Amino acid sequence: MATALSRRSFVKAGLIGAIALAAAGGLYRATRSSAPAGGFTLDGESKAALGAITAVMLKDAVPATADGIEAAIARVQGAIAGLPLATQKEIQDLFGLLVLGPTRYFLAGVPDQWSNARPEDIAAFLQSWRMHRLAMLQSAYHALHDLIIGGWYADESTWSSIGYPGPMKALS
């Protein structure tokens, strides 16, 4: 009997969590303007989240200055702009979850606003999503990883940070 009660409680908690996430997503969409016809553009809160995550994910590769972080954010925005609109919508939903306080806290485990988040909390969040048992959170981690790393190293000006001399010259 105890197993049935705990299983029932687990299902109820799951349903309540799903309803809460749906309500948070609806609230986020209601308070934000719709995406422009050209696709998703990062707003202030999303930029703060991306800047905090980028600083941790790229560590020493990105200059720890406001200009360095802004350049990295611009590269990610460029990478997002090159994606299909349906994928941009999914990225918008991901950032919607990351910037809302309750979902930031419960899904990412980051108690503070992104602009005040400790690097240790962000690193723990990234590691937990990277290794999470739910494939959806692993996919979200890999999307963030690929956007940040891909956007950064696709720019020729960043190659020196890893000692990459560039592509080989064509043999004549």
The alpha helices in the chain, defined as continuous H runs, are: 2-31, 44-58, 66-81, 85-99, 101-103, 119-130, 135-153
Give a yes or no: residue 20 inside a domain.
no
Give a yes or no: residue 97 inside a domain.
yes
Domain housing 48: 32-158
What is the rounded average pLDDT of the residues 3-32? 66
Q: Amino acid letter at 103?
A: T
What is the rounded average pLDDT of the residues 24-30? 64
Instruction: Count the domains in the chain.
Output: 1
Give a yes or no: residue 21 inside a domain.
no
Q: Amino acid letter at 46?
A: S
Q: Which of 63-72, 74-83, 123-132 has the lowest mean pLDDT?
A: 63-72
Q: What is the pLDDT of residue 172?
A: 52
Q: At 162, is the pLDDT very low, low, confident or very high (cuts 50, 70, 90)?
A: confident
Q: At 63, is the pLDDT very low, low, confident or very high (cuts 50, 70, 90)?
A: confident
Q: What is the pLDDT of residue 18?
A: 65
pTM attached to this predicted model: 0.73
Q: Which of 75-84, 119-128, 155-164 has the lowest mean pLDDT?
A: 155-164
Q: Is the pLDDT of residue 34 over 70?
A: no
Q: Determine the Cα–Cα distance for residues 148 and 55; give it in Å rounded to an integer.
A: 10
Bigger pLDDT: 17 vs 136: 136
Q: At 50, is the pLDDT very low, low, confident or very high (cuts 50, 70, 90)?
A: very high
Q: Is the pLDDT of residue 20 over 70?
A: no
Give a yes or no: residue 7 inside a domain.
no
CA dihedral 138, 144, 147, 152 (to 10 degrees): -120
Contact indicator for 65, 135 with CB cutoff of 8 Å: no
Give a yes or no: residue 26 inside a domain.
no
Q: Determine the Cα–Cα distance for residues 150 and 142; give it in Å rounded to an integer.
A: 11
What is the rounded average pLDDT of the residues 138-158? 90
Bigger pLDDT: 114 vs 1: 114
